[in-house]
Amino acid sequence: MAGIYVHIPFCNSFCIYCGFYSVINKQIRENYIPALKREISGRRNFFTDGTKINTLYFGGGTPSVMEIPQLEEIVQCLKENFDFAFAAGAVDKFEFTVEVNPDDITPQYADGLKSIGVNRISMGVQSFIDEHLKWMHRRHTAKEAINAYHILRDAGFENISLDLIFGFAGLTARQWRYNLDKITSLRPDHISAYQLSIDEGTALEALANQGKYLPVDADECAAQYAALQNVLAAAGYDQYEISNFARRTDTISSHVSGSGVNSLPRSISYRSQHNSNYWNKIPYLGLGPGAHSFDGSNHREWNFPNVENYCNLQTKEIRSGETLTEKDIFNESIMLGLRQTDGLDLNALNKGLLKTTLTAIARLEDEHLLLQDNIKDNAGNEQFIIKIPTDKFFISDSIMRDLFL
């Protein structure tokens, strides 16, 4: 099992808060596909023999600024070079996600995505209030986002994720509640909600440095996060990670237009398989400038975030890498495991290093900042799971920090 991430580093304009690597230059888009195909074939031996790819994710940037034939050319090249666990209609076995922006979605484009095998859509809505969308420099209105969602449903997409942002100046508790009610009334299959952060190099950082943007205080953000958890739980969404919620499959109902939805097997989880693979340390290959790769053990690589160099240089000159130490692996396991509601199995940690944190674990349990949940796996082996209680997720960074070496 493994995943492939393809970075499409182009946007038609920049959102105020966005720190992802992306460029607006339209001329370079034509050179990008040949360069990407060069990297794909150069990386064909990245995974060990026999590894099946079970998730494919096109992220950005904005993948939906590319034409369907361009995306199809990339998919075709990937199929020629990797062993995909494709199975017609098996949406619970192979997940192919594309991130889209609402303003790019037309019925023709949605049909095109379907025709190349995409079975999961992730769409950035961010807010249902136009004043906020304008401030964020989003290119769509709330109405356009809702319309795009219905177009995708009508095209037959049975797995749609929508993103929201909270914790920014000007978002009142009442407006946040409005956004939560609006998103749950649409019944997407998955919801991601992120607290706005001031990232380096963004327009928002410049505003903050000039004193023109004042960050929201932590108590207000915590209240909005608690509202997020409560409203989504009541609406039938299970939280499985700090920022991610999957619709319970027994809540499938007739609100979903388009064909075939009611034939979905009940076993399907709407958790993002691709992102869950990251958190569960499944190997993944990242293609495109700025993309990261991991061998599933102790080696990471990253492509430099420079699309001009990416298009002009030989494959081996575009990236760097590092071998993780036992301490790095330990800290990463803490961070990846504790962000999930499933928690972290202590058996998976280096025993010697774990000994040095047992006191901190016990103290955090006493303070009700960690829970122990000992269970048996399918083979009857005992697992010693630790979890952050979901009502403490908002302060998860500081809890994890207490366990880092």
Q: Which residues bind ligand SF4 (CB under 6 A)?
A: 11, 14-15, 18, 20, 22, 60-62, 101, 124
Q: In the complex, what is the shortest distance from the CB of residue 11 to ligand SF4, in angstroms, rounded to a whole number?
A: 3
Q: In the complex, what is the shortest distance from the CB of residue 129 to ligand SF4, in angstroms, rounded to a whole number?
A: 17
Q: Which residue, 3 or 60, is less far from ligand SF4 as judged by CB?
A: 60
Q: In the complex, what is the shortest distance from the CB of residue 144 to ligand SF4, in angstroms, rounded to a whole number?
A: 14
Q: Which residue, 302 or 384, is less far from ligand SF4 as judged by CB?
A: 302
Residue 297 carries which side chain, given as an amino acid letter? S
Q: In the complex, what is the shortest distance from the CB of residue 76 to ligand SF4, in angstroms, rounded to a whole number?
A: 25
Q: Interhelix angle for 28-42 vs 68-81, to 10°?
A: 10
Q: In the complex, what is the shortest distance from the CB of residue 103 to ligand SF4, in angstroms, rounded to a whole number?
A: 10
Q: Which residue, 103 or 402, is less far from ligand SF4 as judged by CB?
A: 103
Q: Which residue, 126 or 340, is less far from ligand SF4 as judged by CB?
A: 126
Q: Which residue, 25 or 41, is less far from ligand SF4 as judged by CB?
A: 25
Q: Which residue, 53 or 136, is less far from ligand SF4 as judged by CB?
A: 136
Q: Which residue, 201 or 389, is less far from ligand SF4 as judged by CB?
A: 201
Q: How, if at all, do strands 344-345 and 382-387 pair? A: antiparallel
Q: In the complex, what is the shortest distance from the CB of residue 10 to ligand SF4, in angstroms, rounded to a whole number?
A: 8
Q: Which residue, 66 or 403, is less far from ligand SF4 as judged by CB?
A: 66
CA atoms within 13 A on the CB side of 239: 23
Q: In the complex, what is the shortest distance from the CB of residue 260 to ligand SF4, in angstroms, rounded to a whole number?
A: 29
Residue closest to ligand SF4 when measured from CB atoms: 18
Sheet of 371-376, strands arranged across: 344-345, 382-387, 371-376
Q: In the complex, what is the shortest distance from the CB of residue 168 to ligand SF4, in angstroms, rounded to a whole number?
A: 13
